[in-house]
Amino acid sequence: MDPMTDTPARLLTLLSLLQTPREWPGSELAERLSVSPRTIRRDIDRLRALGYPVEATMGAVGGYRLVAGTAMPPLLLDDEEAVAIAVGLRAGAGHAIEGVEEASVRALAKLEQVLPSRLRHRVSTLQAATIPLARGDGATIDPRTLTVMASAVTATERLRFGYRSGDGTETKRQVEPYRLVSTGRRWYLVAYDLGREDWRTFRVDRVSEPFATGARFRPRELPTGDAAKFLSRSMSRMQPRMEVDVSFRAPARFVAARLPAHLGVPEPTGPDSCRLRTSVKDSLEWLALRLALVDCEFTAHSPEQLTDYLRDLGARLTRAAAPEAAS
């Protein structure tokens, strides 16, 4: 059967055209679909009856366009668009880019579930051939890990996976997944651990071979009622706090614009200098890199482990810049 003589197929094609942000003359739509202008008008009425807000303009020719409505209609993507979106979502999710939250991972899970095998292969090939700009902590994630977890959260389905703790211990876990949480630097899974009979947080970059067991569960009540708050409290308990004191040879406004907000605001000590005194729970390595990225001269007064680490890091960087001298 010719797809254009099949009303459902023709409506899908018409909707796909209207989702392009432009106005379509009725005559052009009729030509594209090999039907009469009268059929186009009937099809537009059918789309409106289904809830799609199609706007018509008056005139000798007349035109149609899809406008923003009160509900999100299904998007119809061609092959190139689907691949582009999947690659973009994978890149963002796999490297925990700030602003890419759980909703993006859910969208990726839904998209990859319906992608034909030929398009899934293209997405994997493109990502394998792309080297992303590293964030500095090396915590990259296979996007498939995130999509499996996001799907299990949505379907309230138990998960099994291997987990490597901070000291390198390997364990097998079975959990009831509650939420995925992005901190901007890393992804975490908040879940009820059936083996420990308690709530736990898991760094997703330490998870291996996750799979949904097919066993459904009734969601438990999280103690804090909010996954992000639970993760924050959990991290606060696990990581010691550092009292940091750093002087910068640059104006306070310059330094503040280049530091994460949670580190606080430096106090001016002169027209071209400032000092930052703050209390943080970030890792020593990450803090040192953030200070270096301010891109000005600075002096770390405390803590002692920060000054020692910066001294060692500086020596390594000096040797890396002059390998012939080191040899």
Q: Could you report the per-residue pLDDT of 273-288, keeping only the tens digit for each?
A: 999 999 887 778 888 9
**What pLDDT shows up at residue 210?**
92
pTM: 0.50
- Helices 7-18 and 37-49 meet at what angle, rounded to 10? 80
Residues of the chain with pLDDT under 70: 1-6, 21, 59-62, 68-76, 87-88, 90-104, 114, 124-140, 184-185, 236-239, 323-327
**What pLDDT shows up at residue 74?**
67
**What pLDDT shows up at residue 234?**
80
Q: Which residues of 110-131 are buried (b: 16+ CB within 10 A; e: fewer)?
A: ebbeebeeebeebbeeebeeee
- Helices 143-155 and 102-114 meet at what angle, rounded to 10? 90
Q: How far is CA 198 from CA 195, 220, 222, 223, in A?
A: 8, 11, 10, 10
Q: Which two tokens stand for residue 252?
A: 């306070």
**What pLDDT shows up at residue 103?**
62
**What pLDDT shows up at residue 135?**
47
Cis omega before residue 53 (within 30°)?
A: no
Residue 71 amino acid letter: A
**What pLDDT shows up at residue 19?**
75
